[in-house]
Chain A
């Protein structure tokens, strides 16, 4: 019975991820492709040896972009749905919808925004191919570290809440999280790869587009999945609607 609920939530999470990836894809295409093209123009102008094109720019910026973003949406939607199944009823007295919104917010902050502050998204031409191994390892290390610190902060907050009250316990947990993340960021190696002469404006616009795309994705996921999850977990009519008498 409960296993069937988890399966339904997982499927709905993947669907919500796919649904949220559609506006994120539109955002990436409309806002993000400009800075990508600008970066590629800089790359070509600075004599970067490029062999024959395997995939044309047109395909990369349309079908290729769509494949990546939609598959990403399905995958993170599924993982977020599993996290939601775990969080439901365990993080406090939140409804299914509120838990979905909090799960999406936590995923955005812990998997994207905070790690991004240390190792931000880079456009083409920014990043030395020789260091791809190190940069990939640090990128995923930062994500894992932030997620673990986030979970630790929630546990600390839950532990302190009975004595300190929810407000003070949340502040203490948030401060502990911020302090630990700051220490990690100070001690991890720098992610700076920007070649000299790369237009600062293009870099800023690219990163802004990358952040905006994740905001669209996670906001969409939180809202969509909250609606879908509520219909699984609380199928009764909402309180404010009096059910029509059955004739």
Chain B
């Protein structure tokens, strides 16, 4: 870099370099799915579909489910 140190630092708006898709993909796949599973248990488990039997999960997150806008019952 042949930049003069005496000159005032130029206020250039440099575009942020994108992160390569290859480095995002593994995180997006594994954690994306994990996050969706979490959302499923907060938002839909023991409503339209049930993985666990009973009503415990549904009843426990009942108020959050209503207020977050998920169809509850």
Co-complex (A, B): yes
Q: Which residues of A contact B (CB under 8 A)?
A: 2-3, 5-7, 10, 28, 32-33, 36, 54-55, 59-61, 64-69, 71-72, 74-76, 78-79, 82, 85-86, 88-90, 93-96, 99, 112, 116, 119-124, 127, 129, 132-133, 135-137, 139, 206, 209-210, 213-214, 233, 239
When the two chains form their complex, are residues B67 and A54 in contact, meaning their CB atoms are under 8 A apart? no
Contacts known (A2-B19, A89-B16, A99-B16); A72 close to B69, Cβ less than 8 A: no
- Report the minimum CB–CB distance from B69 to chain A (whole Å): 4
**Quick one: which of B11, B31, B60 contacts A55, CB cutoff 8 A?**
B60
Pairs A–B under 8 Å by Cβ, sample size 29: A28-B63, A28-B64, A32-B67, A54-B55, A54-B56, A59-B60, A60-B59, A64-B61, A64-B63, A68-B63, A69-B68, A71-B41, A79-B32, A88-B19, A93-B15, A99-B16, A121-B69, A122-B71, A122-B72, A124-B66, A127-B72, A132-B71, A132-B72, A136-B70, A136-B71, A139-B71, A213-B67, A214-B68, A214-B69
Contacts known (A6-B24, A89-B16); A121 close to B66, Cβ less than 8 A: yes
CA distance A156 to B27 in the complex (A): 28
> Number of residues in B with C-beta < 8 Å to the partner?
47
Point out the residues of chain B lying under 8 angstroms from A60, CB to CB.
Answer: 59-60, 62-63
- Report the minimum CB–CB distance from B19 to chain A (whole Å): 5
Contacts known (A36-B67, A121-B69); A136 close to B47, Cβ less than 8 A: yes
Point out the residues of chain A lying under 8 angstroms from B66, CB to CB.
Answer: 36, 121-124, 206, 210
CA distance A13 to B55 in the complex (A): 31
CA distance A123 to B9 in the complex (A): 57
**Quick one: which of A7, A33, A54, A127 contacts B27, CB cutoff 8 A?**
A7
Point out the residues of chain B lying under 8 angstroms from A10, CB to CB.
Answer: 27, 31
Given contacts A7-B27, A65-B63, A127-B71, 9 further A-B pairs with CB under 8 A are A54-B54, A64-B63, A65-B64, A88-B16, A95-B16, A122-B72, A124-B66, A210-B67, A210-B68
| Closest B residue to A233 using CB positions | B16
When the two chains form their complex, are residues A68 and B61 in contact, meaning their CB atoms are under 8 A apart? yes
When the two chains form their complex, are residues B68 and A72 in contact, meaning their CB atoms are under 8 A apart? yes
Point out the residues of chain A lying under 8 angstroms from B32, CB to CB.
Answer: 78-79, 82
Contact with A along B15-53 (1 / 0, CB 8 A): 111111101101110011011101101111001110000
Q: Which of B21, B44, B73 has the most CB of A within 10 A?
A: B73
**Quick one: which of A67, A78, A88, A213 contacts B61, CB cutoff 8 A?**
A67
When the two chains form their complex, are residues A209 and B27 in contact, meaning their CB atoms are under 8 A apart? no
- Report the minimum CB–CB distance from A132 to chain B (whole Å): 5
Contacts known (A2-B23, A132-B73, A239-B11); A90 close to B42, Cβ less than 8 A: no
